[in-house]
Amino acid sequence: MIPYCSICWEDNKVRLLDQRLLPQEELYLEITDYHDIIEAIRTLAIRGAPAIGVAAAMGAALGALALKTEDPEEFKKSFAAICQEIAAARPTAVNLFWALNRMQDVVKAHPAEPVAALQERLVREAQVILKEDDTTNRHLAQHGQVVIKDGDQVLTHCNTGALATGAYGTALGVMRAAWEAGKRFSVWVDETRPLLQGARLTTWELGKIGIPYTLIPDGAAAALMQKGRVNVIIVGADRIAANGDTANKIGTYSLAVLAQYHGVPFYVAAPFSTFDFSLADGLQIPVEERAPEEVTRFRREILAPSGAQALNLAFDVTPNELITGIITEKGIARQPLISDIKYLRSAKD
Amino acid sequence: MIPYCSICWEDNKVRLLDQRLLPQEELYLEITDYHDIIEAIRTLAIRGAPAIGVAAAMGAALGALALKTEDPEEFKKSFAAICQEIAAARPTAVNLFWALNRMQDVVKAHPAEPVAALQERLVREAQVILKEDDTTNRHLAQHGQVVIKDGDQVLTHCNTGALATGAYGTALGVMRAAWEAGKRFSVWVDETRPLLQGARLTTWELGKIGIPYTLIPDGAAAALMQKGRVNVIIVGADRIAANGDTANKIGTYSLAVLAQYHGVPFYVAAPFSTFDFSLADGLQIPVEERAPEEVTRFRREILAPSGAQALNLAFDVTPNELITGIITEKGIARQPLISDIKYLRSAKD
């Protein structure tokens, strides 16, 4: 059992591990106001597409609890406004919108209920979303662990562990399942500039699980592939278009091109809720541009001259043809991705 | 005129801009003991292959001046030992060994001279090496500036400006010459982890010259190429094998693969002294592995859990087939590189 949780619901409060302070400090925030959930998502106190989904649902539940009206119509209107406000926290991870839609569906499905009953349902739904996320991740990890062989050197980018999800992890969950199945391998961890989720979070999680890892600067991944020291690459996803094009942390597309050049299999691991079937391809995925200061400074240290211009694209989009397979809770979609995705979409869990 | 110098000789002292403190602080070190030159090279107070060559020569001159013997034979023996000591400062940049060989050739060429005359010759030779480096860079920059067109978006990695050389710069010198020729373009600056020479030094130099730039994390270069926002890539070199295989700052090989995938021309700019004709190909170039702490912390900030394992390869090797051309003071070697390199090697300056 991993001795930490990224987010949970306790006694009508959200308890959330502040990931900005990791690995130096393990501080849990106790949040009762949904505005603080928005702030936590915006500032990356909680991040990772599935975890953002859970946080959004719990934020919506907090918002619902705080509504003082007893008029169901007024409640529905105010609740919709709260969901809209939470939806604006970050633009790329589709799980955010998916989770909020699920919360709004609860309200829509029970038009005749009094406010107190709706509030109770919403609190329960947020916890169901968390629980399902855990189950989903464990299923996808079981499907995915076949891509790791004993003795492999696995490479990953950003953080996709229990911190990035409700509980188990996606790409890192795949590694965890392979490890728990008794396979022995090691992991190259891309530090993942600018916010160093690899250096700060993935190393921390792999250390807790006990999987050996080596941290590298993002620019070193190519040299390791050139030397034949990478057997498989597994990353997460923030949004996947209907054709398999995948938005993920900046630097992912770079790895995918390098993987193809070196003949290294490149896998994306994500729950089905990461698919946005309203988008035919990745060109339409909105990519968040964050503050340049995340590039020009790190905590107390200034990394560039004052006034330096910087571009901080939070994500990039990897086209489907560079992806060996997408690992989901329903199985692995392989090339040609489009038909496999269609098949899995229609399949039972 | 650029209002700073990376290294110069003044009054039998070496004056050296401490690049570890840039861009926050412009502090010049005054060095009289060659051991301090070794320390400055080792700790990257001065870095960049051509600048390391100049520093090594000046360090050797300081060492020569400090020898108290009047016996030419004893002097030669001690001087050779000093050169050997300086040569061990860093392993990859060949300019270090090239410059020390030039210094030892001075001694060998004048077997009958008294110590004081040899000392004077060595001090002069170190200054000649600096002066030549400036001239060489200006020539290569003139040859190279044709690869930049008006309106281009140029991408570069690490630092290759006046700070990395005796005075003018190699890859950054090419940009400077194009700018001075009236072309208008902008530069994407890879921040260049782990030591952020791009973020700290290249931005600082481009700002002083007045060339517009935008700083990016190394992992973002691919996404910009994907969007068609990179027209040409120009980097420096620490050592080039006879066949054109090029060792340069970690992350360079990654760019070369990405450039080929996206059809972006990829140029290396370096003086001929960067060639190591004793090596048939890049496999034989020794690649420095530096302390993992350069990856796990930055100044006061700790970036990874305590005890985190990290790999810090300082360089990677780009095979000749990924290089569009090598810009030298004698002209540009183009594909097939081997024959062009042979031709330029035998050509007059």
DSSP A22-64: TTT---EEEE-SHHHHHHHHHTTSS-SHHHHHHHHHHHHHHHH
Confidence of residue B3 (pLDDT cuts 50, 70, 90): low
* Whether A132 and A269 share a structural domain: no
Closest Cα partner for B62 from B26, B40, B93, B34? B34
DSSP A164-216: GSSSS-SHHHHHHHHHHTT---EEEEE--TTTTHIIIIIHHHHHHHT--EEEE
* Whether A82 and A151 share a structural domain: no
Angstrom distance (rounded) from CA A2 to CA A7: 13
DSSP A106-144: HHHH-TT--HHHHHHHHHHHHHHHHHHHHHHHHHHHHHH
Return the residue of A nearest to B225 by Cα: A254
Residue B154 is assigned to a structural domain of this protein: yes
Angle between helix B72-87 and B115-144 (nearest 10): 40
Task: Identify the helix (H) or strand (E) that includes residue A241.
Answer: strand A239-241
* Whether B151 and B36 share a structural domain: no
Angstrom distance (rounded) from CA A49 to CA A137: 12
- 3 state SS of B214: strand
Angstrom distance (rounded) from CA B28 to CA B20: 11
Residue B297 is assigned to a structural domain of this protein: yes
Return the residue of A nearest to B296 by Cα: A199
Catalytic residue among A134, A152, A190, A238, which? A238
- For residue A85, count CB atoms less than 10 angstroms from its CB and return exposed for 0-12, middle for 13-18, buried for 19 or more: middle
* Whether B182 and B106 share a structural domain: no
Mean pLDDT, residues B279-289 taken together: 97
Question: A251 and B311: CB-CB below 8 Å?
Answer: no
The last residue of one of the domains, among A94, A121, A138, is A138
In which residue are the tokens 């995938």 written?
A: B261
* Whether B189 and B273 share a structural domain: yes
Q: What is the CA radius of gyration of chain B?
A: 20
Closest Cα in chain A, distance from residue B288 (Å):
13
**Residues 185-214, chain A: which have Cβ within 8 Å of B?**
190-194, 196, 199-200, 203-204, 207, 212-214
Domain assignment of residue B278, given as a range: 144-346
CB B184 within 8 A of CB B212: no
Residue B298 is assigned to a structural domain of this protein: yes
Residues from chain A contacting residue B301 (CB–CB below 8 Å) = 298-301
DSSP B248-311: EETTHHHHHHHHHHHT--EEEE--GGGEETT-SSGGGS---B--THHHHEETTEE-S-TT--B-
Residue A120: what are its φ and ψ, rounded to 5°? -60, -45
Closest Cα in chain A, distance from residue B215 (Å):
4
For chain B, the distance separating the N- and C-terminal CA atoms, rounded to the nearest angstrom, is: 25
- 3 state SS of A334: strand
Which of A196, A311, A317 should be substituted to probe chain B, the one whose Cβ sees the most B Cβ atoms within 10 Å? A311
CATH number at residue B185: 3.40.50.10470
- For residue B188, count CB atoms less than 10 angstroms from its CB and return exposed for 0-12, middle for 13-18, buried for 19 or more: buried
Bridge partners of residue A325, in order along the sequence: A267, A334
Catalytic residue among B133, B134, B152, B238, which? B238
Residues from chain A contacting residue B212 (CB–CB below 8 Å) = 309
* Whether B203 and B314 share a structural domain: yes
CB neighbours of residue A158 within 10 Å: 30
Kindly state the greatest CA–CA separation across chain B: 66
Q: Which amino acid is at A286?
A: P
Bridge partners of residue A241, in order along the sequence: A276
* Sheet of strand B7-10, all strands in order from the earlier edge strand to the far edge: B7-10, B13-17, B28-31
* Whether B235 and B275 share a structural domain: yes
Return the residue of B nearest to A196 by Cα: B303
A105 is catalytic: no
Residue B1 is assigned to a structural domain of this protein: no
Could you read off the pLDDT of B215-264 as tens digits, one per residue? Answer: 999 999 999 999 999 999 999 999 999 999 999 999 999 999 999 999 99
* Whether A300 and A164 share a structural domain: yes
A vs B: CB pairs below 8 A:
182
Residue B219 is assigned to a structural domain of this protein: yes
Q: What is the pLDDT of residue A349?
A: 63
Q: What is the CA radius of gyration of chain A?
A: 20
Task: Identify the helix (H) or strand (E) that includes residue B39.
Answer: helix B34-42
Per-residue confidence in pLDDT tens, chain A, 349 aa = 456 789 999 999 999 999 999 999 999 999 999 999 999 999 999 999 999 999 999 999 999 999 999 999 999 999 999 999 999 999 999 999 999 999 999 999 999 999 999 999 999 999 999 999 999 999 999 999 999 999 999 999 999 999 999 889 999 999 999 999 999 999 999 999 999 999 999 999 999 999 999 999 999 999 999 999 999 999 999 999 999 999 999 999 999 999 999 999 999 999 999 999 999 999 999 999 999 999 999 999 999 999 999 999 999 999 999 999 999 999 999 999 999 999 999 987 6
Mean pLDDT, residues B154-179 taken together: 96
CATH number at residue A75: 1.20.120.420
**Residues 143-172, chain A: which have Cβ within 8 Å of B?**
none
Q: What is the pLDDT of residue B264?
A: 98
Mean pLDDT, residues B104-111 taken together: 96
Residue B61 is assigned to a structural domain of this protein: yes
Vertex B290, ends B285 and B292: CA angle to 5°?
140
Bridge partners of residue B331, in order along the sequence: B328
Question: A214 and B299: CB-CB below 8 Å?
Answer: no
DSSP B99-153: HHHHHHHHHHH-TT--HHHHHHHHHHHHHHHHHHHHHHHHHHHHHHGGG--TT-E
CB B91 within 8 A of CB B61: no
Angstrom distance (rounded) from CA A295 to CA B280: 40
Mean pLDDT, residues B5-11 taken together: 93
**Residues 42-71, chain B: which have Cβ within 8 Å of A?**
none
Vertex A118, ends A115 and A120: CA angle to 5°?
110
Residue A1 is assigned to a structural domain of this protein: no
Q: What is the pLDDT of residue A2?
A: 56
Mean pLDDT, residues B265-286 taken together: 97
Put simply, whether B298 touches A (Cβ < 8 Å) is yes
Question: B303 and A214: CB-CB below 8 Å?
Answer: no
Residues from chain B contacting residue A213 (CB–CB below 8 Å) = 308-309
Closest Cα in chain A, distance from residue B305 (Å):
5
The last residue of one of the domains, among A138, A153, A179, is A138
Could you read off the pLDDT of A132-179 as tens digits, one per residue? Answer: 999 999 999 999 999 999 999 999 999 999 999 988 999 999 999 999
Residues from chain A contacting residue B251 (CB–CB below 8 Å) = 217-220, 222
Query: Could you tell me which residues come within 8 angstroms of residue A32 by beta carbon, excluding any fewer than 6 positions away?
Result: A12, A13, A14, A62
Closest Cα partner for A234 from A260, A270, A203, A282? A270
CA atoms within 13 A on the CB side of B65: 20
CB B233 within 8 A of CB B255: yes
Closest Cα partner for A166 from A189, A190, A194, A138? A138
CB B66 within 8 A of CB B33: yes
Q: What is the pLDDT of residue B1?
A: 47
Residue A2 is assigned to a structural domain of this protein: no
* Whether B130 and B184 share a structural domain: no
* Whether B130 and B58 share a structural domain: yes
The alpha carbon of B187 is separated from its chain's Cα centroid by a whole number of angstroms, namely 19
Put simply, whether A221 touches B (Cβ < 8 Å) is yes
Put simply, whether A300 touches B (Cβ < 8 Å) is yes
Return the residue of B nearest to A252 by Cα: B219
Residues from chain A contacting residue B228 (CB–CB below 8 Å) = none
* Whether B314 and B179 share a structural domain: yes
Return the residue of B nearest to A262 by Cα: B257
Mean pLDDT, residues B189-203 taken together: 98
The last residue of one of the domains, among B138, B163, B184, is B138
Put simply, whether A116 touches B (Cβ < 8 Å) is no
- 3 state SS of B199: helix
* Whether B332 and B242 share a structural domain: yes
Number of independent structural domains in chain A:
2
